[in-house]
Chains A and B, each alone.
Chain A
């Protein structure tokens, strides 16, 4: 089976198209920052009566909640999002909701600018650190290579594949945010970093095999990089698919059966894992070949 060869540029073309669509959605829809990053307050309640967003809105009109958004969860669950409000204001709001029906407070979260600014900075720092650390790590892990191969190109190819994965997830969440109201919060950043760690698993497996196949005792050590890389992919594709499938299975179980709170988080991980499996084979390795000059 020939994964590389002349077809390899089409993999990059497909990914470029997917990323372009994702980026377009990012610019058009924009990501919806959660209260972690934007600040604000969130009230989750159960109202023991059939009601509607409009009725709730009318009931709360006197409360004058700034930037009020209302979402429904299940039959009786509701989430109210506003600018930052105090504990007292929250209590007043729930009291007002009592006019609609018996109201049970399930959750109240409020984040002021001090905390949201700090979280934003830490998130950027975390992603920068993780990316840098992984580049160095992969370069170090693959430092013992034949002279004509560069450890830095290995590391960089892996990171480009990771960047591809993250961009796909970001694009997907621009779409989810627009249609499903999913938001970018601390857990989303956590998912991104976790994807960084896991996506590189398969890349390392393939790269490790490429390195091994260039050892003198390998039957293909005399061939060109492209041929050795293709041979390596054939050898490792079963384990790549299987290792990803086991993770995807548990993520699917959590997505379908787990609680609502973590659903955006699990979905981000799921998209990232699937994309990561693809990119390890069809992005990282072709890039390695393109960047390699000579044999």
Chain B
């Protein structure tokens, strides 16, 4: 029994050591086997500062079956534009506002939201361009010197799809990815003219003044159906089709919500929250030590380990910490000792019944566990609902609270129990 107890204590020490390593600011990143993960506290926009934009997609000009593709295309365009802003770690995600679809864009550190809005709000523009006859002298109005625009554009392209070569075409290998283009009737005529003028020359496809691809014309295309072949991987073919579709299916976007947070505001909030957290934790420890004495010391040690574990989990997952998330973390510190209190009160009762210390500890834990599990389950339920239905800020709070509750159950049952056996055992009397 003593050996098993010591083993548990050793396990706790190992866990604590690992969590301290993970918790260290600027500590080592995980680099072993396939994992190469940066360990850092991810700060939400309200702490780091930056711009949060929510757009609703206007699908009034888009057929139902094309809406998903069009939205993906719009996201692709925005990603390119955002990258040109030089923002670190931007996030762009699809979102639903009830029955409406949209995009959420987060730009950490961006203070000039006007520039971001100007760039992002523009509808995508796809152009087909051809080389000048005499490219050596530069000139032209194309994406780079030596090229000029044609009148063929995204509005003429009906769709772009990934297809695979068939055995009919003897000149191509079987089942290779390619991109098929379909033009409308106006586009077919324009494309016929372009291909006539540029046999064996490249024709550029330009999206937002940026070159997507410039395949060489092999034949005059009269039907409005064209195929782009080449050494494409499936992924590359999909990407090309997506880019072309974003020009073919432009989706106007309207801002429905935005938040700009100054960096100083977030910094002040963090400092205040950390102070509040430390003071709150100190008050809790003081209270339980005064009330429960030696048991309170054990609970305080467990609480410290609990806090370290929480922080380590935040870094490992990683959890995006928001201001409300920090509040959830601090709240869970107050709730974490609840399990200990239930156990200690139960322990007292069992002692009053005349049981030995060991028996009292065992019975106290097993009887209290039901109350701990049942009462914490209520908070788990509400946290899960908040995670499912909440937006960014709310979800952050719910996630930290949920993690806190689950870890508190673990540390109360294992850490406190082991410490109690080790410490109280040596004293014989409490």
Contact = CB atoms under 8 A, between A and B. Distances in A.
Interface in B355-374: 367, 370-371, 374
Interface in B390-426: 390-391, 393-394, 397-398, 401
Interface in A129-157: 129-130, 133-134, 137-138, 141
A278 interface: no
A75 interface: no
Contacts of B389: 122-123, 125-126, 129
A211 B255 CA distance: 55
Interface string A236-250: 101100110111111
Nearest to B344: A239
Contacts of B338: 201, 243, 246-247
Contacts of B196: none
Interface string A160-197: 00000000000000000000000000110110011011
Contacts of B345: 236, 238-239, 242
A200 interface: yes
Given A115-B97, A257-B275, A249 B262 contact: no
Contacts of B262: 104-107
A141 B373 CA distance: 10
Contacts of B275: 257
Interface in B300-344: 323-324, 327, 330-331, 333-335, 337-338, 341-342
A197 B381 contact: yes
A266 B397 CA distance: 12
B385 A250 contact: no
Interface in A204-245: 204-205, 208, 212, 235-236, 238-239, 242-243, 245
A208 B371 contact: yes
Interface string B89-128: 0000000111010100000000001100100000000000
A117 interface: yes
Nearest to B345: A239
A281 B337 CA distance: 20
Contact of A259 (B323, B333, B335): B323
A91 B117 CA distance: 13
Nearest to B113: A87
A250 B330 contact: yes
A240 to B, nearest CB: 9
A137 B291 contact: no
A252 B381 CA distance: 25
Nearest to A133: B381
A208 B394 CA distance: 31
Interface in A74-115: 86-88, 91, 104-115
B272 A257 contact: yes
A257 B97 contact: no
A269 B382 CA distance: 14
Nearest to B392: A186
A204 B333 contact: no
Contacts of A196: 378, 382
A115 B257 contact: yes
Which DSSP category, helix, strand, loop or mixed, fits chain B's interface? Answer: helix
Interface string B65-99: 00000000000000000000000000000001110
Given A106-B262, A201-B379, A243 B280 contact: no
Interface stretch (B18-26, B175-183, B217-225, B281-289): B281-289
A257 to B, nearest CB: 4
Contacts of A119: 391
Contacts of B383: 194, 197
B265 interface: yes
Contacts, number: 220
B341 A242 contact: yes
B334 A251 contact: yes
Contacts of A44: 265
Interface string B259-296: 11110110011001101110111011001100100000
Given A247-B334, A253-B276, A118 B375 contact: no
B370 A208 contact: yes
A253 B94 CA distance: 38
Which DSSP category, helix, strand, loop or mixed, fits chain A's interface? Answer: helix
A266 B382 CA distance: 17
Contacts of A11: none
Contacts of A37: none
B56 A114 contact: yes
B260 A108 contact: yes
A291 B29 CA distance: 59
A262 interface: yes
Nearest to B56: A114
B376 interface: yes
A257 B276 CA distance: 5
B349 interface: yes
A3 interface: no
B280 A193 contact: no
Given A122-B389, A193-B386, A200-B375, A247 B98 contact: no
A121 interface: yes
A198 interface: yes
Contacts of B385: 126, 129-130, 133, 193
B269 A246 contact: no
A126 B256 contact: no
B130 interface: no
B371 A246 contact: no
B270 to A, nearest CB: 9
A162 B65 CA distance: 46
Nearest to A136: B381
A106 B263 CA distance: 8
A189 B381 CA distance: 15
A112 B371 contact: no
Interface of B: 54, 56, 96-98, 100, 102, 113-114, 117, 255-262, 264-265, 268-269, 272-273, 275-277, 279-281, 283-284, 287-288, 291, 323-324, 327, 330-331, 333-335, 337-338, 341-342, 345, 349, 367, 370-371, 374-383, 385-386, 389-391, 393-394, 397-398, 401
5 contacts: A112-B256, A122-B389, A250-B333, A253-B283, A253-B330
Given A194-B331, A197-B383, 10 more contacts: A106-B264, A107-B262, A115-B54, A121-B98, A126-B389, A137-B378, A187-B397, A246-B334, A247-B335, A254-B276
Closest 7 CB pairs of A and B: A253-B280, A250-B280, A197-B379, A250-B334, A197-B382, A247-B334, A257-B276
